[in-house]
Amino acid sequence: MAFTTYAELQTAIANWLARDDLTTPIVDFVSLAELKLRRKIRAMDIETTGTLTTVAGTATVAHPTRFIQARSLWIDDYKPLEYRTPDQANFEYEDQQSRPRVYTTTGSNFQFWPIPDGVYTINIIYMAYPEVLSDSNTSNVWLTDLYDGLLYGSLIASAPYIGQDERMATWKSEFAEAIADYVVYDENRRYPKGGVTPRIARRVY
């Protein structure tokens, strides 16, 4: 059943639906399935790194492209910036200007406190949803590592267009199982068997 390109996925969907007149709607089915995966999946496969650049006297910096969620932010070799809610940060730092120590996210921006007093390069590890599939972008991580979820999600998305299908319950079950399996797969990669061995600090006299 494996398929590796956007075109092969579209063909598979048409075959599963036993329809040869859905060329344009299938594009929408795939887009809806990708949107559902974007909302559900938080995994190593969509982690990436980048940098943000502050402006003196300005608390906000726009999120990176296709941003979903931050994992860690830090400046140079300093300890990671701590997360605060907007209310907490405002109460703690108000209008102070200095090297940022904490951050929050509001709308499509990061907000830093104290407000940056200069230009700082902030390193970031974050999750970003993959570039959507298209004729020019023929593969992405969903198609590489979660093609079963992408297929079943696309089949589920077809229902409003083609009408209720007796196979819908099966597709929903298979979609949920694909997501669950992928979560376990990701956890096993992130946390190797046996877990992390704690390091015991030795006192030096």
Q: Which of 22-31, 117-126, 148-157, 183-192 has the lowest mean pLDDT?
A: 183-192
Q: Over pLDDT 90: what percentage of the chain?
A: 78
Q: Which of 124-128, 177-181, 185-189 has the lowest mean pLDDT?
A: 185-189
Q: Which residue has the tokens 């946390």?
A: 191
Q: Which residue has the higher pLDDT, 7 or 163?
A: 7
Omega cis (within 30) before 64:
no
b vs e for 171-188, b when ≥16 Cβ sit within 10 Å of the residue's Cβ? beebbeebbeebeeebee
Q: Sorting pLDDT into bands at 50, 70 and 90, what band is 72? A: very high
Q: Sorting pLDDT into bands at 50, 70 and 90, what band is 194? A: low
Q: Which of 21-25, 35-39, 140-144, 189-193 has the lowest mean pLDDT?
A: 189-193
Say if residue 79's pLDDT is above 70: yes
Strand pairing class (60-62; 109-113) = antiparallel
The mean pLDDT value for 123-136 works out to 96
The mean pLDDT value for 63-86 works out to 91
Rounded CA separation 164/161 (Å)? 9
Q: Sorting pLDDT into bands at 50, 70 and 90, what band is 205? A: very low
The mean pLDDT value for 130-156 works out to 95
Domains of the chain, residue spans: 6-41+146-188, 45-127
Say if residue 12's pLDDT is above 50: yes
What are the tokens at 101? 């120590």
Angle between helices 168-190 and 147-157 in degrees, nearest 10? 150
Q: Sorting pLDDT into bands at 50, 70 and 90, what band is 195? A: low
Inter-CA distances, 107 with 43, 85, 130, Å: 22, 13, 20
Most confident of 19-33, 85-99, 177-191: 19-33
**H-helix or E-strand containing 178?**
helix 168-190
Inter-CA distances, 151 with 56, 168, 170, Å: 48, 13, 13
pLDDT of residue 3: 82
The mean pLDDT value for 94-100 works out to 89
Q: Sorting pLDDT into bands at 50, 70 and 90, what band is 74? A: very high
Inter-CA distances, 148 with 37, 48, 174, Å: 12, 24, 8
